[in-house]
Amino acid sequence: MTKAKPSPQERLLEAAAMLTYRDGVSIGVEALCKQAGVSKRSMYQFFQSKDELLAASLERRASAFGARLLPAADVDRSPRERILHVFEQVESQAGTPEFRGCRYLAVQIELKDEGHPASRVAHRVKEALTAFFRAEAEQGGASDPDLLARQLSLIFDGASARAGVGADNLAGLIAPTVITLLDRAGVR
């Protein structure tokens, strides 16, 4: 049985995900189309603009991003363990040669325009991660769940960025840092 060839639209979404993660959002339309094996005309039949293609590509990967990072909802772990799980995943991913950091953070940094369609998707995904931290912190008895959630997001973004640019190795660094915060906040 042969596997069906992905549609031109799927190839464009995949090319946008791969190229923007590797090379940044300034990648040109010609490079995107070449990677996807489609004409520019075809691209504009599916997407009104490169901006729309980037946003759709990020949106398409959002659930996989959460699935890779967050523990399963039915896992019987304490809030503390659930938070630490996220950082264990970051440490594990950061150890791979293809790791370039958090794609959603990179988009926000590169675009700087909060109104850009891709930036809005990235912001929503990052807010969902902070909301996860806040909910777990509250359930774990944190003295200030909002503050702790913001601190954990800061560590997540900083660790992802430093590892993504090869400035630091997260092994043995990220978990003790997070544990210190959790201890100070009283998270069980």
Domain boundaries, the chain: 8-185
Residue 164 has pLDDT above 70, yes or no: yes
Place of tokens 């988009």: 107
> Quick one: which of 40, 35, 41 has its CA closest to 17?
35
CA 114 vs CA 7, 65, 136: distances in Å: 31, 21, 27
Residue 3 has pLDDT above 90, yes or no: no
* DSSP SS3 for 88: helix
State the pLDDT at residue 83.
98
Residue 161 has pLDDT above 80, yes or no: yes
DSSP 95: T
State the pLDDT at residue 162.
95
Chain mean position to CA 64? 9
Q: CATH number of the domain at 8-185, please?
A: 1.10.357.10
User: Lowest-pLDDT range, 32-36, 86-90, 95-99, 129-133?
Assistant: 95-99
State the pLDDT at residue 1.
66
pLDDT above 90: percentage of residues in the chain: 93
Tens digits of per-residue pLDDT, 67-126? 999 998 877 899 999 999 999 999 999 989 999 999 999 999 999 999 999 999 999 999
Average pLDDT over residues 47-73: 95
Average pLDDT over residues 38-46: 96
Q: Which amino acid is at 32?
A: L
